[in-house]
Structure 1
């Protein structure tokens, strides 16, 4: 920032400065998400992210003092969006929740950047003892638990077979989602997450009908 820009910024009303600060922070997060998704955490440099966000290196570091701080902020933003997406599912219970999972592939296709970011970061931090690794471990546990509860509820109410294994069904459905996500990305979208997830969920329900 030039001396003139600095004086202009410092003389701007507090609300204007705060608004500009939020906009710059959002620009950094958006740029980091794009580059982390494309190049991974290790491949994307802070300098490249700053350039993508149209900021100086110093401007980026003002908002995020290290690359790790930036990564955790990107992950937290993604977590917030994932929670919002899951709220659509968690309004249902038992069989209705399982039926709603048929559209989860379409939900993932609707946000390709977040989907790519999840795959890239989870693979890159697969065996690390890091905060990002713990984040993905915890999120998978929450997701499987949600599905396990839904299968157990559907069995208890008689909508699905009483002898089904809720834990195994939850693990299998999570694995199918992950596999479709990866195939969708590697195929450039020619393999449909949306349609294949619909087909899978319908097949599961048909197999487990009471």
Structure 2
């Protein structure tokens, strides 16, 4: 049941398969994916970060990592030349390492959760390539259509997507870690006497 916490609040109504054409070169696409951060706000508490590796000239892997930097799942993206642009296809695969067997078994039993994770993977890749925040509504086509039909709501949705993307970025770049001066330290050393409990 490792997928349930990842996507508990997400409603899924379907998605189309196959690769997507982008008007960017394969090198531009690979560069965008290399620097992209995963959307922690939809992946749940077990996923604490990601690592991107390049397997070959066309294949990149975004590994979803736990606190010990073990792979929980992986997004495998194939990038190939398509005219002057690129054709990009992303699938979800079981991880390598300590969680591999458990993930493989779960993937067989939790087809809906895997489908949801595939939507997350596709939107993660699309938002990285297009240079925009992860769009929560991409996971719910009906809600996305409704918002697109009411342009006055678009800026609120865009603001929300930008705010959650910033939160996710800060989480992955260690914003919550202890500062050099000890302020916010879990051992109660607040740095000086400001906020101390003495």
- Give the TM-score taking structure 2 as reference length: 0.28
Higher normalized helix content (fraction of residues): 1
Larger radius of gyration: 1
Higher normalized strand content (fraction of residues): 2
